[in-house]
Amino acid sequence: MTEDEPGVARPDPAELARAWADLAARSQRLAAGFLERQSSGGAGAPEADPLNVAPAFQELASRMMADPAGLARAQAALWDDYAALWRTAASRMLGGAPAPVAEPEAGDRRFKDPAWAENPVFDTIRQSYLLTARWLLDTVRDVDGLDARTARKVDFHTRQFVDAMSPSNFAATNPEVLRATAESGGRNLVDGLGNLLDDLERGKGRLSVRTTDMEAFRVGENVATAPGKTVFRNELMELVQYAPATEAVRKRPLLIVPPWINKFYILDLREKNSFIRWAVAQGLTVFVVSWVNPDGKLAEKTFEDYMAEGPLAALDAIEAATGEREVNAVGYCIGGTLMAATLAWMAARGDDRVKSATFLTTMVDFEEAGDLGVFVDEAQIGALEERMREDGYLDGAEMAATFSAMRANDLIWSFVVNNYLLGKDPFPFDLLYWNADSTRMPAAMHGFYLRKMYLENLLVEPGGIELAGEPIDLRRISVPSFILSTREDHIAPWKSTWRATRLYKGPTRFCLAGSGHIAGVVNPPADPPKYGYWVNNRKAASAEKWLEAAEYREGSWWPEWRAWLARHAGPEVPARVPGEGALPALEDAPGSYVKVRAGA
């Protein structure tokens, strides 16, 4: 690089030519592969309306046309807002300091660069976008006559459009990108195009936005490192028993059933935030189910199989390994949904081996499923089942893309700006590495789960679902339950998870943690504390009433849970060493299944 004037760089022509030649060759290969897939109708061929969005917006348009007065009022409101913006922009150009007409919401990091506020031009661009975005969202939300499902779908996809159109996402209207371009002589855009091609190549023609340095972490080396042994294995799971950290442990072992949508090591990322290490340090014998990353050979595995080969098989294995028949169980997300269904099945069979249950961000009533409900209707499930028939599973990338879309500004657009416009590599971050380490879904199980729970909400109906010959009823669950939700959860909305307190027969303790689906759960005791939580021991008529009377406490919810679990953990006994019971150690933790990547 050479510089003619301060802050303006000129790229080396030979270096730039070599870069462009490499990019052109890679682009040509990608284009050829795309055209081949299009002509063959294989993976990557477009679907007309895979998210079944058109009917919702057709209904919206019809309702809006039927109310021209309402549309006129909305247009007038937008005009008034723009008139106010023009007045403040003119005042600022003349040296005034008027208050902004529109401000980003707290936590909106798209406009964090100082130039968005300090430069009058970019400030006007920013406010214009915020006004238009607010107007568009308010307009579609105010349309009368839409049913709840259609209104939710319209709102979600309108938000997706609004987020995509942010001026921060375009080089010409992002001051940080313009500054980087001037300072590097455009090298940031060349590097950004290289990053874009890398992501397209890794996704085999589908854009797979890289959110972290995927080479910075190794499962079993610098993540998922809690010491232990794999002591049992079947087609669907490995059971990991962790080495004790105390000379004595509580009598009843702890069984953790994580979601199979992601891998279990979210509970064992690093030493300082590992829930598993912390639980072991509390004197618990901890067992964790490590689900297989299934391929087409397991296409016919059902939800019933996940119950039989998951928690039920784990209970048998724990008894063989420790001699203990009774356990305490923890279920996280869909692992908690499975645990609830299993407990109802066990109640029908008179099986009382589980003495307490902890549910982490777990939905069992799917009536108000939040943004995930947008992706579940008959047309979308039918199309998904058709795609799964080809390979026998749902590719993990599809589920990951769905979750990312629910937090598009944080998990998509911020990385588009960083990687493609600024030409930077993403920062190594263990949580985002885990997030990108996606898992597949067997076709039979996933279709059942989406239809019976999300679409038909049959899990809350007595006898609505039958598993292994037993019509199950969640109202028969009589064990004490600790139910943890997180206030900003976009996957399992807390007001939906709270409904379980009205279902289970046994005593329930509901705890609401700060933050979201992951950060609210993985929130170890720390000084200073990161997030707090709310508790309320009294029954309430609604989630809102519960929160109104709840007590806020600083710090991690983990000690609160430990105190609750102590009442159900039994007396102390000598610590158990993995592999010294009737089940020999098969290999070191974290085992083999967790290391299988979806792209492998």
Q: Which residues are catalytic?
A: 333
- Whether the Cβ atoms of residue 380 and residue 387 lie closer than 8 Å to each other: no
Omega into 120 within 30° of 0, i.e. cis? no
| Other residues' Cβ atoms within 10 Å of the Cβ of residue 538 | 8
d(CA 312, CA 121): 63
**E strand or H helix that includes residue 14:** helix 13-40
d(CA 551, CA 492): 22
CB-based contacts of 28: which residues, under 8 Å, 6+ apart?
none
d(CA 151, CA 143): 9
Residue 389 class from Cβ within 10 Å (0-12 exposed, 13-18 middle, 19+ buried)?
exposed
C-alpha distances in angstroms, 77 versus 68, 70, 129, 312, 513?
14, 11, 15, 60, 39
d(CA 197, CA 30): 8
**DSSP helix/strand/coil, 301:** coil
d(CA 192, CA 195): 5
C-alpha distances in angstroms, 205 versus 230, 279, 363, 476?
37, 43, 35, 49
CB-based contacts of 218: which residues, under 8 Å, 6+ apart?
none
Nearest partner of 507 among 541, 542, 483, 543, judged by Cα: 483
Please report the sign of the dihedral spanned by the C-alpha atoms of residue 587, residue 331, residue 313, residue 245. positive
- Whether the Cβ atoms of residue 321 and residue 581 lie closer than 8 Å to each other: yes
